[in-house]
Amino acid sequence: MHLRTARRIDDIASFRVMDLLARARQLEAEGRRIVHLEIGEPDFDTPTAIVEAGRAALQAGATRYTPALGLPALREAIAGFYATHYGVTISPERVIVTPGASGALQLVLGVLVDPDTEVLMTDPGYPCNRHFVRLFEGRARQVMVRRDTRYQLTPELLRAHWSKRTVAALVASPANPTGTLIAKGMLAEMAAYAAEREGALIVDEIYQGLVYDQPDATALEISDQVFVVNSFSKYFGMTGWRLGWIVAPEAYVRPIEKLAQNLFLCAPTPSQHAALAAFEPEVLSILEGRRAEFRTRRDFLLPELRALGFNIPVTPDGAFYLYANCERFGVDAETLSARLLEEAGVAVTPGTDFGENGADQHIRFAYTTGMDDLKEAVARLRDFFKRA
């Protein structure tokens, strides 16, 4: 049988970290113990109160569709969270609940991108973003960012790379894989420039809440015309529940609603009911304790990796990643990642997942595992490099 696929499939690369994870699982099935530093998934279980709320919803028969924009009570709760934690008043009508942040990004890009239009984004950056743009027949224009801009887009870079075909810029704060933030003033300047060019600024705040050395913030503090994408996966620990949200400019709510009706119908109903408990004070207290633990892990792993010879020029502000230059070891990142997995039993992600900008010389370490495992990983890495 001849396999025919759309041309876009050839342009959408596999997620290398998932291939590495599959190999790690195979080694574990063979009896090896693997320390996992490759997956961006918190190791903490979903807080019990959220699980109980989901269970109660199922027992009450909450298994039918919600409105496409989401459960009204959850949209109100999200708006209330912005008010109490960030001092930002937004209408619940601007909140769209989605099947994960991936669903949110597809909806935003689906209403903005036409064939052959461009979306600016960073390189390195989260790999799926460029593929979402390709899905809608647009072009992801990747801007090479380096340590001098903390691996972020800046107003100067935005002005230099914006073209007649550009319809939006997509930034992330904190970012994956680098964990860096964008200063509020720079966000405001970029939002103003995008509006001046009749384009949009999309701000990925998926790791919001996981910020360690300064107060947490949101782009909604500087403009009501930006698209903010967020998730219950990272800070709230609900990865498998597949739930995220958009805060959209008011004029775009109806176009997004039409697309959501056709693509998803709605986000998972039990997950939406469960997420109502995510904003309870006792749950937020648990989540803040976990944030402190992530900071402890960062502060342990960062100097250890630097001592081993990895070059990490910028201390990450948030998320749970360290993006490390590995060129001093004399092999490319994919080769080194494969050897670390096979010979040391430490799973990491090669930079080639995140773009082309120095990708062969970088590895991402995710500190999404406990301190005992992190210490074991460092010991294994130290032994590996002594033998190499």
Q: What is the pLDDT of residues 193-246, one digit of tens each?
A: 999 999 999 999 999 999 999 999 999 999 999 999 999 999 999 999 999 999
Handedness of CA 148, 152, 155, 160 (dihedral sign): positive
d(CA 216, CA 110): 29
Q: How many CB atoms lie within 10 A of CB 112?
A: 21
Type of residue numbered 330: G
Provide the whole-model pTM.
Answer: 0.96
What is the C-alpha radius of gyration for the chain, rounded to an integer number of angstroms?
A: 21
Q: What is the band of 16 on the pLDDT scale with cuts at 50, 70, 90?
A: confident
The backbone region for 189, taken as left when phi is positive above 0, alpha when psi lies in -120 to 50, beta otherwise, is alpha
8 A C-beta contact, residue 363 and residue 350: yes
Q: How many CB atoms lie within 10 A of CB 155?
A: 16
Contacts of 158 (CB under 8 A, 6+ apart): 120, 169, 190, 193, 194
Paired residues of 169 in beta bridges: 120, 201
What is the DSSP track for 248-301?
A: --GGGHHHHHHHHHHHTSSS-HHHHHHHGGGGSHHHHHHHHHHHHHHHHHHHHH
pLDDT digits (tens, 9 = 90+) for 260-306: 999 999 999 999 999 999 999 999 999 999 999 999 999 999 999 99
How many residues in the chain?
388
d(CA 44, CA 54): 17
Q: What value does the mean pLDDT of the chain take?
A: 96
Higher pLDDT, 8 or 307: 307
The backbone region for 317, taken as left when phi is positive above 0, alpha when psi lies in -120 to 50, beta otherwise, is alpha
* Token code pair at residue 27: 């080694």
Helix (H, G, I), strand (E, B) or coil at 54: helix
* Token code pair at residue 367: 């500190």
Under DSSP, the state recorded for 323 is E
* Predicted pLDDT of residue 388: 73
* Token code pair at residue 159: 């002005």
Report the candidate in 27, 119, 58, 67 with the shortest Cα–Cα distance to residue 270.
58
Domains and CATH numbers, the chain: 7-45+283-387 (3.90.1150.10), 62-280 (3.40.640.10)
